[in-house]
Amino acid sequence: MKTSTTRAVTSLTFLEPLTAALRRHLLSLRGRLLLGVAAVWGVLCVMLLAFGWQSGTLLVEESNRVHLRYEAELVRNAITQKIEQRLEALERLAAQFPHAAPGDLAKRGHEEMLTLFEGLVLVDDQNTIVDNWPTLAGRNGLDIGHRAYARHMRHVQRPHVSDPFVGIVSGKPIVMMLVPRRDAQGRYTGFLGGLVEIERSELFEDFKRLRLGDAGHVVVATASGQLLYHPDQRGGQPALTAALNDPGLDLALLGWEGEALGEAGQDGEALKAYRQIWPADWVVGVYLPLDQIYSPLANVMRSITHRAWWALGLLLPLMGALIWLSLRPLTRLAQQIRELSLGRRRRLEIPTQMTELRRVIDVFNELEQQRLQTLEDRQQREAFLRGILAASPQGMFVTDTRGRLTFVNQALRAMLGLTPPIRLATWARRLHEQDRAPVLEAWRASLREHHDLERQFRYVAESGEMRWLDVHTKAIHLDGEFIGLVGAVRDITQRQHEDALRRWEAEHDPLTGLLNRRGFERRLEEAFAAWEKADTPSALLLFDLDHFKTINDEGGHALGDSMLRQVAAAMGAVTRSSDHAARQGGDEFALLLPGCEWPRAMRIAEALRARIATQGLEQHGRVWRVTVSIGVSTFQRGDESVDDAVRRADAASYRAKAQGRDAVISD
């Protein structure tokens, strides 16, 4: 035991001088230069590797873009050709059935069509299935008027590919391709539809043979965002309703074609290409994950990195020896510079005859004196600036180059109710949640790029009161060097409230609180733009009050105003918060239902009519009531402006009045 202890003490005694010598050399100028050389070598290697990686990335990405572009065109052309082939076959067949009857399809025999479709249906002009082949029990006589594709064919009467749906009889996910049927006089007599089962169709089989690597894949969706094909989902019911979690698809759904780099849902980062399949209004996306693209390049860069570190290990001892020999005369200089940095001396005093070293010492001493003078001037300027800002009646603050608060005047503390200590993080948490992210990003950009900032945002004071602040900052430079920000803060809460009130009054009716004609027309234009871009449906209801003049003449204008407010309340009771109700003038009212299709619009109109008809106002023992004649219309193909829908709704309202009032009529 004693021998073991003696050996441990001897080992520690031997290591202490070695550790001290190693520390002394590492802290010396020689050691620092040696470390600097190693760091420069490392940075150089990193820069070369980064340049190589960047160049390789651009080359790999461009080559894969070309490949992806080719594959996307291949997929688009293949699907387009198959869809056009099927639509042409349907048009040839539809010409044989100007008038349809049960059994017509089976009489002619169309076995060759089974290679293109899983079934055929003949539908009359009332959207009732007349015949189907191969015959499926329960399908003939079925009313499909509620289907969007049936209504579309009745209105448009052109070849069309439907959105995916679940068959009522088959219970399977289906896409229907439709062409109109016409008689000898060219009148529309219905349509012929070809059923394509998504799970069985060979439309998407060619995707399995594409050369997209292990993880590359193809996705096909409708323009409305419904998924038709995904390698992980095809063949199951979720394929009809699953939304594509791909931010880059938004533009493609609006008609854009091209390549992009970014997120691809659960697949992570990927290189993507989008193409439009115009005959079917579909979008095809081809995806190559970045991990797959960059994997070969990453392997090459790892091999180069290993060789670079081996080279550094071999060259570092040789560089160390050369630096050691070159810097021996500078040992004392390094010691005095260290003392100077610690404030133990104000200048270098090294007696030496070495011309080069003497020149370095003189220049260093001159620069040190200039630095001390500059520091003193800067401190004086800062003191003067703080005095000015403290006396300012406006809220003022100062930050350093990293955005940390170094000064806040009393006016700003009083304005915001601040209590010390004042930290920037506390201010950030009190920003309104909707303004916080953009304000912080603008703040960071101002510090990063050394430019001024002007911003208005909401701020929650310590008392809980929300205020609007107007902040202006100025980037301060001294001798061309950025030294921080000076900011001014104004409380503009009252001005914001007044502006908001003026905006509200400009678009609302003061009597009912509903939108006025100006505000309603703006929202109607927005809904029509959404219809043109993405086929987003909207419904329009127009009506005025039946016999309202009698109420004004006999009951007085005060009673008339009360009746108008009661009608406005009834409109609010049967609509959603996203709907827009308006009083366009006098007793004329309008209701815009964004995202609402015709059946639901008719139900809302009927509920509104019934509610108004059952309500009344009592005055002097007499109960006054009004009814409404409502005209309903929706945006349709061929509409050039909102005026088309307005004219249809207005005409429907007049027909309701002509038929006895208190009714709902659609265009």
CATH of domain 510-666: 3.30.70.270
Using alpha carbons only, how large is the chain's radius of gyration in Å?
40
Q: Residue ranges of the alpha helices (H) in 95-202?
A: 104-108, 148-156
Q: Residue 40 CA to chain centroid, in angstroms? A: 42
Angstrom distance (rounded) from CA 439 to CA 469? 12
E-strand stretches of 278-389: 282-289
Segments making up each domain of the chain, as ranges: 49-302, 392-497, 510-666
Q: How confident is the model at residue 241 (pLDDT cuts 50, 70, 90)?
A: very low
Lowest mean pLDDT among 7-16, 68-77, 465-474, 480-489: 7-16
Judge contact between 93 and 192, C-beta under 8 A.
Answer: yes
DSSP state of 127: S
Judge contact between 67 and 264, C-beta under 8 A.
Answer: no
Share of the chain above pLDDT 70, in %: 81
Q: Which helix (H) or strand (E) holds 614?
A: helix 598-614
DSSP state of 552: I
Per-residue b or e along 461-477, where b marks 16 or more CB atoms closer than 10 Å to that residue's CB:
eeeeeebbbbbebebbe
Indicate whether 433 pLDDT > 90.
Answer: no
What is the reported pLDDT for 102? 86
Angstrom distance (rounded) from CA 124 to CA 101? 9
Query: Which residue in the block uniquely carries the two structure tokens 């009745």?
Result: 154
Tokens coding 156: 């448009």
Tokens coding 153: 């064919």
DSSP state of 621: T
Angstrom distance (rounded) from CA 186 to CA 328? 105
Judge contact between 637 and 645, C-beta under 8 A.
Answer: no
Tokens coding 310: 């081996």
Is 49-302's fold the same as 392-497's? yes
Angstrom distance (rounded) from CA 652 to CA 663? 10
Angstrom distance (rounded) from CA 619 to CA 621? 5
What is the reported pLDDT for 385? 65
What is the reported pLDDT for 30? 61
Q: Which helix (H) or strand (E) holds 653?
A: helix 642-658
What digits encode the pLDDT tens for the residues 325-377? 656 556 677 776 777 777 777 777 777 666 776 777 777 777 777 777 777 77
What is the reported pLDDT for 410? 78
Mean pLDDT, the chain, whole residue set: 79
Lowest mean pLDDT among 149-163, 497-511, 580-594: 497-511
Tokens coding 462: 């310590």
Angstrom distance (rounded) from CA 138 to CA 129? 10
What is the reported pLDDT for 27? 59
Tokens coding 36: 């600097």
Classified by CATH at the fold level, domain 49-302 comes out as: Beta-Lactamase (3.30.450)
What is the reported pLDDT for 135? 81
Angstrom distance (rounded) from CA 91 to CA 95? 6
The model's pTM is 0.43
Lowest mean pLDDT among 138-152, 459-473, 602-616: 459-473
What digits encode the pLDDT tens for the residues 525-576? 888 988 888 888 889 999 988 888 878 877 787 888 888 888 888 888 888 8
Q: Residue 594 CA to chain centroid, in angstroms? A: 21
What digits encode the pLDDT tens for the residues 228-237? 887 776 544 4
Q: Within 13 A of 230's CA, how many CA atoms are on the CB side?
A: 22
Phi-psi region of 484 (alpha: psi -120 to 50; beta: other; left: phi over 0): left
Give the CATH number of domain 392-497; options: 3.40.50.150, 2.40.50.140, 2.40.10.10, 3.30.450.20. Answer: 3.30.450.20
Query: Which residue in the block uniquely carries the two structure tokens 């400009």?
Result: 506
What digits encode the pLDDT tens for the residues 30-70? 666 667 767 776 777 778 777 777 777 777 778 888 888 88
